[in-house]
Structure 1
């Protein structure tokens, strides 16, 4: 808080008023207001504040929709357009495509592996070699019927699974298990879809396609990470998740890749084009969609969101099959798959979450730490003031451009990162992120979540 008076003055010059009490910043200007949950020990960034208020002020110029509430979780920091950690609720007939951006349904899946630490350590060299080849060196075969993608986009994941060919990755897949695991995917059943909004390349006339982005992690902060359960806070919740101390889990963090870019870019451009001619454009350059176009955006976004599910599901299946000689495939199962960048219709609102995740009462959520830090499996408490949300991680505190200049790769004797790009060890260093402890504690104290299980990183794979 030492820089807070200076920040207050700087924001005041922009017409932004900010106050702080009990770990909550309340901000407002002449156009909008928002709340930010952030402990005093973590910095409040001026650019992020400005971005949040800009989004909170977006409205249909003809009065057909607007933002109803805006807030942010403790991983709050500036994004390229929308601030990360933002939660923005609009009326049901209004959406803001830029609030989600291109990385639609970026999210994290956590799975039990059926292994404990002793078993995993005994096969560590083999696990590294197999997963490195399959995930980082493109040693994977993920064939999909064109008709399967059409079924995914039109009808949903259950129909897609029925279309899987008896080829490549899917030869050994337990289709019944994959169907059962759909229930562990938060929000998946509510996503709409329409194949008209999917890339034509995935639905070509040839029967089998192998998209280059299938089972792909992508760059940035995406990862596949094996963790050890090193602390159980709630025995009953851990039992529900099928976890005990010493168990190995795997977290898969990725999104919709090129399909998300295809959908997101098109609809952000369309929102701008729909601005009434002759009316001055908003200075922040952010645009919403109302009525019919809002409904159509939800279908297009659902197409990308469903593809992100497919991406994480396929990566999980690769892990299962690469571990099959040391852990029976039926010993693994999905605990939860949570989205970060989506719009979900909840009650009377369209809730836009950018780098934040649903945390409804009794629902599992994940709060991963930085690379090398602890992660937490938590239960949501459904706090209405924070739109039943929680953070999706610790949050960056140093930009990638700045951390690259430091050129100090990570060194850790217990945890190990496997990557083909050494710059990832610099860009994603723990020092680039906020400590996860205060981020978690702030949300527990405010009643957003309750921590159930703490996870310690064991092996991290980054593309």
Structure 2
């Protein structure tokens, strides 16, 4: 099976400067004027609307070269593929040699999903639904959450990851952490098999030196207030409430 009006679609993409083929539900795309660039591929459902802008962004990303010899050697995209505001299509996945492309890393680095389980009935939740929504909007969109941290806590976060940050916060809690159950935080980071911090890849930190981190995030002294920390990010990120009927 092929998408409807495939020939017309491919002609339209060619007018956008793209060399596109379609086979086995996979679009293969490359810039017409970059024949040496790797062919980028994206697997999409047959009825999925194809956006020329997203394909062009993916092809542009695949053609990136560094003057010193770095290059993209492979490019593809996940099925949530759509145009990105910063010039890189959402869902792009690339393999590079000899270069790092900050725009491809994006502002949602380490984006993921977290599940919180609560012991509430549907009736109990619905009774306070409006209050829940207002708090979520305030925390995630209107900056009412206080995520103030000391310079020392941020240094520990960049140098040692989540375990270092927790140790610093236990020594001197700031912001909303003051209202947290510090004993629970300590138990979750105690190094046991079930500790949540143990499940985080590399503890949330890589080998490096905090002095190389952005100065506004990791100063020598004082307090740090970053409105993006501990939020769900932007775009198509979301908070979802679910009920499990059966496992």
Q: TM-score range by the shorter chain?
A: 0.7 to 0.9
Counterpart Cα distance in 2 of 1:74 and 1:57 = 21
Counterpart Cα distance in 2 of 1:221 and 1:4 = 28
Tell me whether 1:153 sits opposite 2:158 in the alignment. yes
Which one of 177, 186, 191 corresponds to residue 170 of structure 1? 177
Which one of 70, 95, 100 corresponds to residue 95 of structure 1? 100
2:44 match = 38
Long gaps (5+) in structure 2: 190-194
Three-state SS of the structure 2 residue aligned to 1:161 is helix
**Any residues of structure 2 matched to 1:89-168 within 5 Å, and which?**
89-91=95-97, 93-128=98-133, 130-132=135-137, 134-135=139-140, 138-164=143-169, 165-168=172-175
* Alpha-carbon shift at residue 131 of structure 1 (Å): 4.3
| Contact 2:16–2:52 (Cα < 8 Å) also in 1 | no
Change (3 A) 1:2 1:129: closer
Three-state SS of the structure 2 residue aligned to 1:54 is helix
1:18 match = 20
Which one has a bigger Cα radius of gyration? 2
Change (3 A) 1:139 1:19: closer
Report Cα offsets for 1:271-310 as digits up to 9, x if no partner. xxxxxxxxxxxxxxxxxxxxxxxxxxxxxxxxxxxxxxxx
Which one of 224, 229, 236 corresponds to residue 221 of structure 1? 236
Higher fraction of strand: 1
* Alpha-carbon shift at residue 71 of structure 1 (Å): 1.0
Change (3 A) 1:8 1:140: closer
2:192 match = none
Which one of 49, 60, 73 corresponds to residue 54 of structure 1? 60
* Alpha-carbon shift at residue 3 of structure 1 (Å): 3.3
Three-state SS of the structure 2 residue aligned to 1:11 is helix
* Alpha-carbon shift at residue 156 of structure 1 (Å): 1.7
Counterpart Cα distance in 1 of 2:175 and 2:68 = 52
Report Cα offsets for 1:419-438 as digits up to 9, x if no partner. xxxxxxxxxxxxxxxxxxxx
Counterpart Cα distance in 2 of 1:72 and 1:20 = 15
Counterpart Cα distance in 1 of 2:80 and 2:137 = 30
Change (3 A) 1:103 1:160: same
Counterpart Cα distance in 1 of 2:141 and 2:53 = 35
TM-score in terms of structure 2 length: 0.75
Long gaps (5+) in structure 1: 233-243, 245-463
1:406 match = none
Tell me whether 1:2 sits opposite 2:7 in the alignment. no
Three-state SS of the structure 2 residue aligned to 1:58 is coil
TM-score in terms of structure 1 length: 0.43
Three-state SS of the structure 2 residue aligned to 1:228 is coil
1:195 match = 210
Three-state SS of the structure 2 residue aligned to 1:73 is strand
Q: Whose RCO is larger (CA < 8 A, sep 6+)?
A: 1
Counterpart Cα distance in 2 of 1:126 and 1:22 = 48
Backbone CA RMSD of aligned residues: 3.1
| Contact 1:155–1:193 (Cα < 8 Å) also in 2 | no
